[in-house]
């Protein structure tokens, strides 16, 4: 993914969302926080919308491997599970760095 594409995804004109189907068959609408790179792969960070009536402010961020077909931009991107603790730790570190960069830019 080019830097221009990443920048566009990080600063969208309108909020991008995706619908994730959970293991128990529920559909959850998620806001796309960003797409970023870790360990030479692209990952996506998603923020699930809180269920109606849920006033809890803290929500977990969901992470998935992210890939898209460079030959067909209209093809749906593919989201895959992160398979190991080592990979997950690397993704968390990269996401933390993204948050630090965003915070620094806002200063």
- What is the full per-residue pLDDT of the chain (107 aa) written as tens digits? 444 444 444 554 578 899 999 889 999 999 999 999 999 999 999 999 876 656 566 679 999 999 998 899 888 899 999 999 999 999 999 999 999 988 877 76
Query: Residue 68's closest CA among 99, 15, 32?
Result: 32
Q: Which helix (H) or strand (E) holds 42?
A: strand 41-48
What 8-state DSSP symbol labels residue 49?
A: P
User: The tokens of 88 are what?
Assistant: 């997950």
Sheet holding 78-80, edge to edge: 17-21, 27-38, 41-48, 62-67, 78-80
pTM: 0.76
Rounded CA Rg of the chain = 14
């Amino acid at each position: 993914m080019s830097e221009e594409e990443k920048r566009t995804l990080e600063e969208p004109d309108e909020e991008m969302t995706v619908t994730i189907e959970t293991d128990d068959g529920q559909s959850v609408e998620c806001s796309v926080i960003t797409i970023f790179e870790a360990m030479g792969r692209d990952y996506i960070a998603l923020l699930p919308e809180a269920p109606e009536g849920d006033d809890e402010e803290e929500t977990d961020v969901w992470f998935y491997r992210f890939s898209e077909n460079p030959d067909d931009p209209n093809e749906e991107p593919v989201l895959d599970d992160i398979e190991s603790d080592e990979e997950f730790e690397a993704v968390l570190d990269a996401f933390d760095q993204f948050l630090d960069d965003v915070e620094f830019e806002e200063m």
